[in-house]
Structure formats: C-alpha cells, structure tokens
Amino acid sequence: MTSMQAPLLLTPGPLTTTARTKNAMLHDWGSWDGDFNALTARLGRRLLSIIDGGDNYACVPLQGSGTFAVEAAIGTLMPRDGKLLVLVNGAYGKRMAQLTAMMGRRVDVADFGETSPVDPAVVRERLAADPDITHVGVIYCETSTGILNPLADIAHEVAAAGRKLVIDAMSAFGALPLSCRELAFEAVVGSSNKCLEGVPGMGFVLARTDALEQAEGRSHSLSLDLHDQWRYMSRTGQWRYTPPTHVVAAFDCALDQYEEQGGQPSRLARYEANCETLIDGLAAIGLRSFLPSSIQAPIIVTVHAPDHPNWNFTEFYRRVKEHGVILYPGKLTAVETFRVGCIGAIDSGDMERGVAAIASVLADMGMQTN
Ligand SMILES: *Cc1c(COP(=O)(O)O)cnc(C)c1O
C-alpha cells in the first residue's frame, strides 16, 4: 500500500472512490477472455437498466474520457447533412458545438449565458425558425457552474418539433432522474468516473437501437465510430481495440455498490445531503454559493471567492490540499469563484471536513470572512 494519506477529492471526476472499487483493479484480464466479455455485457445491461432502456436502446461503451464519447455520439448518430442545435450555458455546451464544427457538420448555438438555465421556450422558437435542424444537443447538469437544465421540458419541445435529442448527462447520469419511459431522446452520454463513482477511462453512449442501425458509415473517425463498435461488440462480445480492462472491472464493482445502496434515488439523496451540508457550512463561514438554489444541481457548487486582497486561488488550493482536501478551480469568466464537488464516495461528514479545511486556510491566510 502507499504511504500517501488518502486524499478527499471534492471534484466532479475523477472523484473519491471506495476501497472496494479500487480493489477491483487488482486482477489482470485478457481482452479475449470469456469472463471479461461477460463483464462487458453485464455492464451494458446495468447501464441500460438505469434509464429503463429495454430493447429499444443499446449500450455502446467507448475507451477514453467522456468527451470522446460525446464526439463519437455526434459523429455517429448525426447524418453528414444533419444540423445540430447546441443549447449552451457553459463550457461543456461550447465543447459539444466545437467538436461538431471540427468534424465538419453543421452546427448552431442557442446561448443562454453562463448563469441561466436553458429556456425551453427559446428552444421551441429556434426549432420553429430553422427546419434544417435535425438534432438538438443539451447538457443535463452544466458542470462548469453546476446549473441544472430543465431536461424534461427541453425534451418535450424537441420531440414536439419532431427533432432528435442527444443528452450529455456526464455529470448527472445515475444521480439525477433519467428514464426513456418519461422522456424521448436519441442518445444519452455518460462516463465511468462521475456519479456512478468508478475510475476514469471509459465513456458510454446509450442510443436508440434504430438510430444505431441507421448510422453505418457516418462517422468521420475510425476509433470513434460507435456503429462499428456496437456491431463488433454484438458479433464478438469484445471491444474493438484494447479495452480499459481494469476500468471496466472497477466500474462493474462500483455498480454493485450503486445497486446495493438503492440506485438512483439514494444516490441523489446522498448528493443532496452533501450539497446542503456544503452550502450551509460555507455560509456559516461567510462564503456564498454562486447559483440560486432553484437552479443548483446537487453535483458541484460554484462558490464566490472571498472579496479580500489576500485572495489567491493557487495558494488557497495548495493550503487546502495540505489538509488532504482537493478542490476545483472556478470556470466563470466574469466572477472570481472556486468549485466544490458533492459527488463521489463521500458523505456529509466529508463535506464538513472540507468546510473545516477551507475555514482553517482562510484564517491562516488572514481572510476571516465573518
Ligand atoms: C466531465 C464532463 C464531460 C467529459 O469530460 P472529460 O474530461 O472528457 O471526461 C462532458 N460533459 C460534462 C457535462 C461533464 O461534466
């Protein structure tokens, strides 16, 4: 074992994982091995059951970080002559628009700034005004601030206009509700290292089977071709190209714990308790969260930096880290902020430990705020 003290990651992924999840990586798997193929198949079934996927959806896992899976989903599911409207209120929406433009597909943006949720009425207007739009891309929880977008209302507008919805649910999947029985969507994208509390290294796309069937030859990229990955996997049970074996094993183990703990409702309840403990604890030491609670997802909290001449994020981060707590920088352009994640194998006691570390460092830096 390592002599390093286990850090408490208050970050939106990679995040704190359990010892049991880490232990699941202590076995070496062959990629041709039947046991590993069974693991991959089970993982796909479990991810599909989280959205009540049934036979209408298929799970296509993909090597890489979450962005690779978003890029693969757009490049595979959108026809070459399609047009994507991306609903942007932060960095991840911008990224989806950027990767679509880079692969040479038509893309338009509805920009809601950095501090407001997507407005479904605007989505309706934009879709009515532009019949060329075939697909709409949305970020469920915009991790760059922690804003919760009104997914059900957005999905309703997109379906009513006869267009197809691709959801980047990376930082929401498994914690916030998402069922294909309640919402219409073409595909949802997630990754191993966020609310399902696995380790980083793979993403996955849960896509309508009929959409995958129609997607042959659309991808601009060999390694990001989800249709090919799906076909190959259906035929052989194997991943195309080297699978992240240890990541898959850890993810399957993390899903054991997810199910034992009660699945989505209980994961959401734990994160809500974390978020509340954090926001209350910070308020008690004079730090304000940035978003109003009505649009705050219980995933990551953006916090106003103390309005004090001694403020310096790099120094603050370094000192908080000495207490064993890892924070996250802010991502807003106009306001000085930092971020604290509420997700991972952590509970309210850990959030209190995080707040205590922050309080102690602010005092040491001469920034007692109350
Ligand atoms: C984490 C995240 C991603 C993917 O980021 P990677 O760094 O590529 O894993 C995409 N969208 C959202 C909303 C995210 O939170």
Confirm if 165 and 158 have CB atoms less than 8 A apart: yes
DSSP string, 27-69: S---TT-HHHHHHHHHHHHHHHHHTT-TTTEEEEEEES-HHHH
> Domain residues for 252?
19-259
Which residue, judged by its Cα, is nearest atom 2 of ligand 1? 170
For residues 150 and 287, state if they share a domain. no
Position 32 confidence tier, pLDDT thresholds 50, 70, 90: confident
Of 259, 282, 298, the residue at which a domain comes to its end is 259
Q: Is 339 annotated as a binding residue?
A: yes
Whether residues 89 and 182 fall in one domain: yes
pTM beyond 0.75: yes
- Do 222 and 313 fall within a single domain? no
Residues 160 and 90 in one domain: yes
- CATH number (domain holding residue 48): 3.40.640.10
In a domain, 1, yes or no: no
What is the arithmetic mean of pLDDT over 42-49? 98
Residue 47 domain flag? yes
User: Is 127 contained in some domain?
Assistant: yes
Of the residues 233, 259, 285, the one at which a domain ends: 259
* Residue 1, pLDDT score: 36
Shared-domain flag, residues 291 and 251: no
Percent of the chain whose pLDDT exceeds 70: 98
93 in the same domain as 77: yes
- Atom of ligand 1 at shortest distance to CA of 169? 13
Write the DSSP assignment of 307-328 as a string of letters. Answer: SSTT--HHHHHHHHHHTTEE-E
Report d(CA 270, CA 282) in Å as an integer. Answer: 18
Order the strands of the 337-341 sheet from edge to edge: 300-304, 337-341, 328-329
242 exposure class (CB count in 10 Å sphere: 0-12, 13-18, 19+): exposed
Are 62 and 170 within one domain? yes
Q: Report the percent of the chain where pLDDT is more than 90.
A: 95
Same domain (yes/no): 187, 274: no
CA-closest candidate to residue 172, choices 139, 138, 137, 205: 139
Answer whether 299's CB lies under 8 Å from 271's CB: yes
Q: What distance in angstroms lies between residue 258's CA and the mean position of ligand 1's atoms?
A: 21
Specify whether 121 is located in the same domain as 62.
yes
Ligand 1 pocket test: which of 11, 67, 202, 302 has the largest number of ligand atoms within 8 Å of its C-beta? 67
pLDDT band at 3 (very low <50, low <70, confident <90, very high): very low
Does residue 249 sit in the same domain as residue 279?
A: no
Domain identity same for 242 and 270: no
pLDDT tens, residue by residue, 236-291:
999 999 999 999 999 999 999 999 999 999 999 999 999 999 999 999 999 999 99
Task: Specify if 370 maps to a domain.
Answer: no
**Does residue 197 sit in the same domain as residue 317?**
no
Asked whether residue 216 is domain-assigned, the answer is: yes
Residue 369 lies in a domain: no
Of 224, 241, 259, the domain-final residue: 259
Ligand 1: centre distance to CA 129 (Å): 30
144 CA to centre of ligand 1 in angstroms: 10
Q: For 78-103, what is the mean pLDDT?
A: 98
Whether residue 2 is contained in a domain is answered as no
- Position 332 scores a pLDDT of 85
Please state the domain count of the chain.
Answer: 2
What is the CA(299)–ligand 1 centre distance, in A? 13
d(CA 178, CA 251): 20
Q: How many C-beta atoms surround the C-beta of residue 352 within 10 A?
A: 15
pLDDT digits (tens, 9 = 90+) for 290-338: 999 999 999 999 999 999 999 999 999 999 999 999 999 998 888 999 9
Q: How far is CA 367 from CA 225, 268, 358, 370, in A?
A: 51, 34, 11, 9
| CATH code where residue 297 lies | 3.90.1150.10
* 3 within some domain: no
